[in-house]
Each structure stands twice: as C-alpha cells, then as structure tokens.
Structure 1
C-alpha cells in the first residue's frame, strides 16, 4: 500500500496564512462532532426505561455506537488517497444527522441504525481532521494537537449534560435542538479549512513488518484505555440513577469527568513536548488506577473532586497517544491516528460488551473494580511505547 501523510495545499503554504483561524474552526468542528458522537451516556438511563431494558443492555447499545470507529484506519487510508477536507465535513454532518435520528427513533432497530450512522461518521471525521490539525503546526506538535483535542473533549463532556436537559424537558424527540449549532456552523467553517493534497503517485509504502510490534502495543494500550473510559461514562450515570439520582445529575458526572479532563488534554501535550511521551502515558495510567479505586471507596461531595482529577489523568494521555500512532506510521499519519483512536476505541467497545455481562453477574459497583487493574495493564504497555 503506497501512501504518505496528507499535507496542506501548496497555495496555503506559499501564502503563509496564519493557522489560528483554521485551527480554531477545526477545534469547533471537533466540539460539534464529538458532542454529537458522545451525547448518548447522558440520556442512556432514559432510553433504557423507554425500551424496558436492564443495565446490562447499556453495553450493547453503547457498542452499536462505538464499534464503527474501527473504520478509522480505512478512513485514514482513504483520506490520504483523496486529500481535501470532504471526509471531515462529511463526518461531522453524519454525526449531526445521526443525533437527530436518535431523537426520532421509536424502537431498538431504528435506534441501533442511527447509532451505527453516528459511529461510522465519527470514524470518517477523525483521521482527516487530525491530519489537518498536525499540518497546521510548524513546531510544538503536542501543544497544537492539544488545542484541537480540547474542542472534542469539551463536546464529549458538555453534550451528555445538554442532551439530558433537553430530554428532561422535551423527551428524546427534542434532540434536534441539540443539533442546531452544527447545522448553522458547518457551512461557515468548511471554507476556512486548508485542503490536504492527496498522496503522491511515488509515495513511500507503509513498512508493515517494521511497524508491527509497536503498532500492536499501541492497539492493546488504546483498547484497554478506551474500555476503561467507556465503562465509566456508560455505567456511572446508571449507578447514580439506580441510587435515586436524577437523569441530569448522572449526566453531570460525565460532564465533570470530561470537561475538567480538558486540563489533562492541554497539560499532557505540553508535558510531552518537554519531558517525553512515555512519562505522560505511564503517569496517566498509574494515576487513573489510583483515582478510580479512590472514587469507588468514596461518597458525598468528594466524588466530584475525584472525578475531576480522574478526568485530568485519563485525558492527559490522549494527545500523546495520537502523536505516537502518527509517528509509528510516518508514511501515513492519518492511518496512524486512525489506529491510535479508531481501532483502539472499537476494540474497547467489544470489551465493553463483556463488561455488561459482569454487571449482570456482580452488579455495577462491584464490576467497576475491574477498572484499576485494567489501568495498571495500560501502564505496562505504555512503558513499551
């Protein structure tokens, strides 16, 4: 397979245009895309009630949303072949449409179809947008990647809360309201983005054998890390409502975890630029193991503080793992980011199905004790990257 990383257009490079406006526009699209792709945990307890399903069904519903991200490596390959910016625009448009369709679903089959559309569209968006973000950086790739990723993490954190507020007042049929910012923004931001040029005909091939070992380590790390995060955002709100909490209160748990985690996104990239990537990846995993255990043993107001610290720990590794994936595959950075995010997320979704079985057998609080050992396994893998 002959592919090279997509680059910004030669016209934009010669013009020496400032990357600030495209970067902020790209970060805003990331906010909209990841919000539309990750709102579900905030309203999942209400959906389970509407479907007359138990907590174990949450894993299957979330897997339908997430497993499509395994399409990301192919989307990265396609992005480098086609260049441009169409896949990124198509992706955020598809997640927005899927969000609207979830609100119009009246049964499990149509719900799963809408979630599958969101998952595939999310996979289309990320590889090309990540390549666009890196192409805007002359240096300090970690810092630039952190700015881009902050948009996505804010969307992931705020949309569950926003969606829960809308559903609490208008039921799920009002979810189209949540899609309005994307509908208005996409036509305005698309012209700001510099198109990527497609790969050259004489591009260097991907050296699969040379990359096999580090790629396998990264995939295992990303899968376990994603599984741990998915288990938290899926089952913390369910446990909260089971204990008598409200739908909005459960969604607020996710918002605290993910929005405060933006601090980790920014600091992780900056620390990696100064001290190295392995320190960030290992430190993030060790802190995650400790903080999950502390959270499970705590109660009262302190859990909110612990969740914020946990978000910082978890998301400090995200920009670094993307850069590691891109550098493992220097011939095709879109493929590398697709593996670091998409394939890892998809495998994490499969692991989440098994976790659903554990919640049925042992209950959600007991099953969550699986997560600290999983984070320690991530630390061991990160030490080899």
Structure 2
C-alpha cells in the first residue's frame, strides 16, 4: 500500500489546531453536514415519488421493488468499495463528483420516459450517495480537532434532517406538479456541488501539510479481536436499523389501526420520532468523546429495550413516548459505532465509513421489507411485539474491547 492513506488517516487524528484555524474547521464541519443534508434530501425523494411513478408508468409492486433494489444496491454495496479505493488514493474533489452524479440522476429521473430510464436514474442517484458518504465522513474526522464523536454527530445530523425533509418537499412540490418537478431538485444538488468544491479545496490543502506525515496510532488490539469487534458492530447496526425501520415505516399505520388516529395526526407523531432521532444523533457523539464510545454503544442499544418491548402494550400517549425515547437513545449509537470502528482500524477510515454507512442504508431497506412481510402475515401489533426484542442483540457489546485499555497495555 502506498503512503497516501497514512497521511490522510494520521491527519484524521490531528486536525488543525489554534484559534486562527478553529473557525475554518467549524465551517468545514457545517459544510459537510449541509452536503449530507442535500444528499439525503434527494435520496429520500426516491421512495417518496413511488406513487407518481406507479401511476404514470402503470408499475406493479414488484417493479417498484426492483427500483428500490437497484437504488439501494448501488447506494450500499459500492460504499465500502469507494472507501477502500480512497484509503489507497484519496480524492480531494470526490464529493464534487458525488454531487454531480446525483444531479445527473435527478435530471434523468425528471425526464425518464421508460422503466429502464427510471432504473438508470435511481442507480446514478444511489451511486452519488455511495461516493459521497465515505469521503465526507473522512473530511468530518479531519476537521474534528480531535473531537471525533462530536464531528460525526454534526455530520450525521445533516443526513437525519435531509431524510425527514425530503418526503415533505416531495409532497409539496413533486406530487402537485408531477414528475417533471423532480428536476427542480437539481438546483439543490448544484448548490451542494458549489459548497463541496470549497470543502475539496480545504481537503486538498490539508492533505499537503507536512504535519500529516506521521503514522496513525495503532489501536493496540489483537487482529483476531478486531475481526470479532467489527462483526459485533455489524450485528449492532443490524439491530439498530431493523428497530428503526419498524418505527419509521410502520408506526403511522400502527397508530391509525390501533388507536384510530387520522393520517395527519399519525404523521405528526412520526415527525416527532424523526426529530428525536436527530437529537440522539447530535448528542451521541459528544457524549462518546467524554465517557467513551463503548459505554455509549452499550447504553444506546440495550437502553432502548424497555421502550421497544413496552411500546405495543401502551396507550396512544405511552406508545408515542416509547417511540420518542427509542429515537433519542437508539440514534446516539451510530456516531459512537462509526468512530469506535475508525479507532479499531486506523489508516482505513474510508473503508470503515463506507462499510458502516452502506450497511446502515442496506439494513434499513431490508428491515423495512422483511418487517412489512411479517406485518402482512401476523398484523402490526405482533410485528412490533417481536421487533421490540431486537435491541437485546446489544448484549453482544460485551465482546467489544476497551480501546483505551488496549493502548495503555
């Protein structure tokens, strides 16, 4: 492996310091978070416009499923591959390329006149996301000033906000004006392209600094333990995103069916849940910086268990309270998981980012599909009762090594 990844990874542990640099680094964090907001806003448009595509092209649910498969496969499978490639040869302007791919995909989707053109368009949108996440998360780490959890939280909350806003924009812009209105979102992605060009200039200048030549600090963990720990983290991501998929996809239907709420009332409660996940994402990273990421991972996965188990047995207010508590606590896990994995594998930040962001995206889609099939067979209440035990997988966090202790030894 050439020395390029060493320079980037080492600098990820030592972002520029000093009063003169603080504002610039904070600006970069805000910029990549805004870029994440734009990326995930556009990504969330894809499922939001399924009704338009289904009616306009007379698609069946199987064809809608193929659209989802193509979009999610390109967005999830390619992420670790992009991460591995950029570990070996970092690309300062890859974020610009990512937003350009997304822009082309959006314009193609607006003008698509056939099913094949739709598949090609969503593949480009997914590929843009696959290129965006590994390097943008690396830039957030570079700009962290050593507060890696805090930087991950700022970066990820932009994505949370975009995922929540996208369907609203689709409802107010695309649904009334039709498929062609999707093209208006290319203006948003082009604004992101300009924003990320500035990030690319900072990234290129930062990589050229002589201070970035030091080797990354080893985790101090036995390679076999590292393999086990990464496998455990992947299982925790599975638990987190299947639990998240249960609420984000089916909580509105549950409230309507079980308590007789209107669609509008149920959607308000879903937005409250999405807001709670944004709060959890924002606080999870800084808390991990203070008390340790392993502790946050323990609490954030296992801590939701009483709420997820209790949710289907509560009344309308109690169910919402359980959902909000689940959103806050569960969302605090992901920044800690990503940074913990980065510390387990120093020098392979891009691969780690691609693996876990891709896995999160894939597990969310898979969880939504499988839990939906289960709800069709057993009913929503039984599905929520079964899904409530998924966070018990968090017991596997026992096998995560103490990285601080490993370094001291």
Band the TM-score falls in, shorter-chain normalisation: 0.7 to 0.9
- Is 1:219 aligned to residue 234 of structure 2? yes
In structure 1, what is the Cα distance between the partners aligned to 2:278 and 2:305? 19
2:373 maps to which residue?
357
Structure 2 unaligned regions, length at least 5: 401-409
Closer, same or farther: CA 286–211 of 1 in aligned 2, 3 Å? closer
How far has the Cα of 1:253 moved from its partner? 5.2
Indicate which of 44, 48, 51 corresponds to 1:38.
44
* 1:294-320, Cα deviation, whole Å (9 max, x unpaired): 444456566555543332122111111
User: Residue 217 of structure 1: SS of its match in structure 2?
Assistant: helix
Residue 371 (structure 1) aligns with: 387
> In 1, distance between residues paired with 2:66 and 2:303?
29
TM-score by length of 2: 0.77
Distance in structure 2 (CA, Å) of the matches to 1:362 and 1:113: 36
In structure 2, distance between residues paired with 1:223 and 1:214: 14
| CA distance in structure 2 between the aligned counterparts of 1:245 and 1:224, rounded to whole angstroms | 30
Q: TM-score, normalised by structure 1?
A: 0.82
1:190 corresponding residue in structure 2: 197
Structure 1: tracts of 5 or more residues without a match: none
**C-alpha distance in 1 between matches for 2:70 and 2:266:** 21
What corresponds to 1:66 in structure 2? Answer: 72
Q: CA deviation at 1:28?
A: 0.8
Q: Contact 1:101/1:114 (CA < 8 Å) preserved in 2?
A: yes
Secondary structure (helix, strand or coil) at the match of 1:139 reads coil
Cα offsets for 1:191-225 (capped at 9, x unmatched): 2442254998x999999656321111112222332
The one of 137, 147, 168 aligned to 1:161: 168
SS of residue in 1 equivalent to 2:399: coil
Preserved CA contact (<8 Å) 2:16 2:25: no
**2:31: which partner in 1?**
25
1:320-375 Cα shifts (integer Å, max 9, x gaps): 11101211211211112222221353355445443343234334454343321222
The CA deviation string for residues 12-33 of structure 1, in whole angstroms up to 9 with x for no partner, is 9599633122221111111111
Aligned residues: 379
Query: Displacement of 1:180 after TM fit?
Result: 2.5
Residue 270 (structure 1) aligns with = 286
Tell whether the 8 Å contact from 1:64 to 1:112 is kept in structure 2 after alignment.
yes
Q: Is the Cα–Cα contact under 8 Å of residues 94 and 118 in structure 1 kept in the other structure?
A: yes
Alignment of 1:286-301 (within 5 A): 286-298=302-314, 300=316
Preserved CA contact (<8 Å) 1:63 1:350: no
Taking the aligned partners of 2:199 and 2:32, their CA distance within structure 1 comes to 9
Contact 1:45 1:237 in 2 (8 A): no
Q: Which moved more, 1:142-151 or 1:109-118?
A: 109-118
Describe the shift of the 1:317–1:14 C-alpha distance in structure 2 as closer, same or farther (beyond 3 A).
Answer: closer
8 A contact 2:102–2:189 mirrored in 1: no
Contact 1:292/1:372, CA 8 A, preserved across alignment: yes
Larger Cα-atom Rg? 2
Shift of 1:165: 2.1
When the two chains are superposed, the root-mean-square deviation of aligned CA atoms in Å is 3.7
